Amino acid sequence: MATFETWKKNLAIFVCLLGLFYCLPNFLGSSMKTKLPTWWQPVSLGLDLQGGSHIVLEVKFDEVIKERLSATEDAIRSKLIEKHIRYTDLKVQDDKINVTIINPADKSDAKSLIRKEINQGVNTSFEIEDVNDHMEIGYSEQAIIALQDKVLSQSIEIVRRRIDQLGTKEPTIQRQGRTRIIVQLPGVENPEHVKSLLGKTAKLSFHMVDDISLNDARRGKLPPSSMLIEGGVSSREGAYIVKRLPVVTGEHLTDSRPSFQDGEAVVTFEFDSIGAKAFGNATRENIGHRLAIVLDNEVISAPEIKGAITGGSGIISGSFTSESANELSLLLRSGALPAPLQVLEERTVGPSLGADSIRLGGISCLIGLALVVAFMIAAYGTFGVITSIAVLLNLMLLIGGLSFLGATLTLPGIAGIVLTMGMAVDANVLIFERMREESKKGIPVMKAIIAGFQNAFVTIVDSNLTTMVAALVLFNFGSGPVRGFAVTLALGIITSMFTSTMITRLLVFTWLQSKKPSKLPI
């Protein structure tokens, strides 16, 4: 008996209405789309359809190595002096720390001391080698690979935070190889401001200003515990001598906002509990001394400490404009990049080219749909009309599904939609051919239709499952446009399975109960 259970009918109708609901925003005007809630939005268009900017960044990993080696060099110097071990030629050279122990009898103690020092904290990946009369301390090959992965992952996260705070819609940020990051910004035609933000490391630290004369420092009379840093544009002096060891770093910042003080643009900041304690102790112990605020190896300002600052918050001033104060606060909120970024490649896709892609993609979809409908009607008559209705519903469900998932539609994604429309009738062809075979055996119309749906189901699942595996592989190992194609293909397989096994069956059984034909119309 040809029946279609009530719960299946209700499910089919509910899914179609839900698909129509999420599909609707794609056909509204631009003015209406801006008024819609965030959970009910049209499909986002990718860079190739909307236009925008494509930027390839390279992480300057060498700078990370130099910085870490320099910090380790300072730590080793302090320990050797503390233990009264005489040394010479302690310096960083060719990605290694070189040091010569003057007294051979102290070499074993020095090596143990150095090994203990470099195996603390994050410096667990250093190796010590004896080379002729000196020692070399450097990273192992495995440690460099691990450090590259860590730095690249951190850089991607910081880039994402900075771009998200700019309000850029649907940016694509992903890694390429071991040292590169791809940034795609749909709708952004002039990425200069974005590039300027991404090009700033935004490493913030607070150092006590040393009392050493600047002239003495320039003549080489600079102790190992101090360093010379140039003054930035907003600072009042050309250079500063500061203590190497920072009082507190930007890692302990929890918030930063632009503000105004005495009619001047400033940047306020807040520390976490650890940073607040360190900052409070330093200001309490150094009243009357100057504290240098260092951003990306430039001193922004070096005010005198008037009293202990124990509230865990403070103000950075330095002849800021409203724009520069807002930009600095954004950078500090996002966090410092672990390494500088260099722009290797930049491409801009104009909106007119994107509009042409959409138009041509739409035309290809319509042509594909028309050919499929014409073929099915010519081959299967009434059942071909039913299949055409199911294909239109499949297209609606596919677009609605992409909107619901917040997926980004690209040109390869449109290709996936066209392919899905062709695949959407595969299951119907299998079902109708099984019906035709059963009918040729003399089986009544009702039983032939039921047998067609039942016997073709396993084959439909097998064929779609293999395609789904291919889509999942493309999504897992692909990137950018390849992933867009995989998403539309996978979602199209799910919607076509639903329409062929639920919608087509509902329509066929409804027609069968209404017409009660004596002959199969295919």
Domain boundary among 346, 362, 384: 346
Q: pLDDT band for position 15 (50/70/90)?
A: very high
Pairing relationship of beta strands 291-295 and 298-301 according to DSSP bridges: antiparallel
Longest dimension (CA), the chain: 108
Separation CA 432–CA 429 (nearest Å): 5
221 & 110 share domain: no
417 & 289 share domain: no
Q: pLDDT by residue (tens digit) across 109-162?
A: 888 888 777 665 444 567 888 887 788 888 888 888 888 888 899 899 888 888
| pLDDT value at residue 233 | 60
Q: Confirm whether 432 is domain-assigned.
A: yes
Q: pLDDT by residue (tens digit) across 241-264?
A: 898 888 998 888 888 889 988 888
In 3-state terms, what secondary structure has residue 127?
A: strand
| pLDDT value at residue 234 | 61
Separation CA 517–CA 514 (nearest Å): 9
Q: Confirm whether 135 is domain-assigned.
A: yes
35 & 99 share domain: no
502 & 381 share domain: yes
Domain boundary among 346, 363, 391: 346
Domain at 377, CATH number: 1.20.1640.10
Beta bridge partners of 208: 291
340 & 224 share domain: yes
The string of DSSP letters for 311-362 reads: SSEEEEEEEE-HHHHHHHHHHHHH---SS-EEEEEEEEE-HHHHHHHHHHHH
Name the residue among 294, 180, 311, 305 with its Cα closest to residue 243. 294
170 & 298 share domain: no
Please name the helix (run of DSSP H) or strand (run of DSSP E) that holds residue 271, with its range, or none.
Answer: strand 264-271
492 & 373 share domain: yes
| pLDDT value at residue 168 | 55
| pLDDT value at residue 392 | 92
Q: Confirm whether 186 is domain-assigned.
A: no
Q: How far is CA 384 from CA 194, 350, 432, in A?
A: 53, 42, 9
Residue 319's contacts (CB-CB under 8 Å, 6 or more residues apart) are 233, 234, 264
Q: Confirm whether 191 is domain-assigned.
A: no
Burial annotation 43-55 (CB, 10 A radius, 16+ → b, else e):
bbbbbbbbbbbbb
Pairing relationship of beta strands 248-249 and 204-208 according to DSSP bridges: antiparallel
Domain boundary among 280, 315, 346: 346
Domain at 296, CATH number: 3.30.1360.200
Q: Confirm whether 1 is domain-assigned.
A: no
Residue 161's contacts (CB-CB under 8 Å, 6 or more residues apart) are 333, 334, 335
Separation CA 232–CA 302 (nearest Å): 11
The string of DSSP letters for 435-469 reads: HHHHHHTT--HHHHHHHHHHHHHHHHHHHHHHHHH
Q: Confirm whether 443 is domain-assigned.
A: yes
Q: Side chain identity at 407, as an amino acid letter? A: A
Q: What is the mean pLDDT of residues 453-470?
A: 89
Q: Confirm whether 522 is domain-assigned.
A: no
Question: Considering only 99-113, 240-254, 346-360, 408-422, which range has the smallest mean pLDDT?
Answer: 346-360
423 & 470 share domain: yes
- The total number of structural domains in the chain stands at 3
End-to-end CA distance of the chain: 20
Look up the domain containing 34 and give its range.
Answer: 6-51+350-515
In 3-state terms, what secondary structure has residue 248?
A: strand
| pLDDT value at residue 400 | 94
Residue 422's contacts (CB-CB under 8 Å, 6 or more residues apart) are 368, 372
Q: How far is CA 23 from CA 20, 29, 46, 186, 443, in A?
A: 5, 13, 18, 21, 42
Q: In what order do the strands lie in the sheet with 52-59?
A: 172-176, 180-186, 52-59, 341-349
495 & 403 share domain: yes
Q: How far is CA 373 from CA 392, 424, 521, in A?
A: 10, 11, 17
Give me the half-sphere count of Cα atoms (radius 13 Å) on the Cβ side of residue 232. 16
Q: pLDDT band for position 81 (50/70/90)?
A: confident
Q: pLDDT by residue (tens digit) across 355-406?
A: 787 788 888 888 888 888 899 999 899 999 999 999 999 999 999 999 998 8
392 & 500 share domain: yes
Q: pLDDT by residue (tens digit) across 16-68?
A: 999 999 999 998 877 787 788 888 888 888 877 888 888 999 999 888 888 88
Q: How far is CA 400 from CA 16, 40, 116, 485, in A?
A: 10, 10, 60, 16
Q: Confirm whether 318 is domain-assigned.
A: yes
412 & 333 share domain: no
Cβ–Cβ < 8 Å for 97, 117? no
pTM for the whole structure? 0.65
230 & 104 share domain: no
| pLDDT value at residue 121 | 44
Please name the helix (run of DSSP H) or strand (run of DSSP E) that holds residue 155, with its range, or none.
Answer: helix 141-165
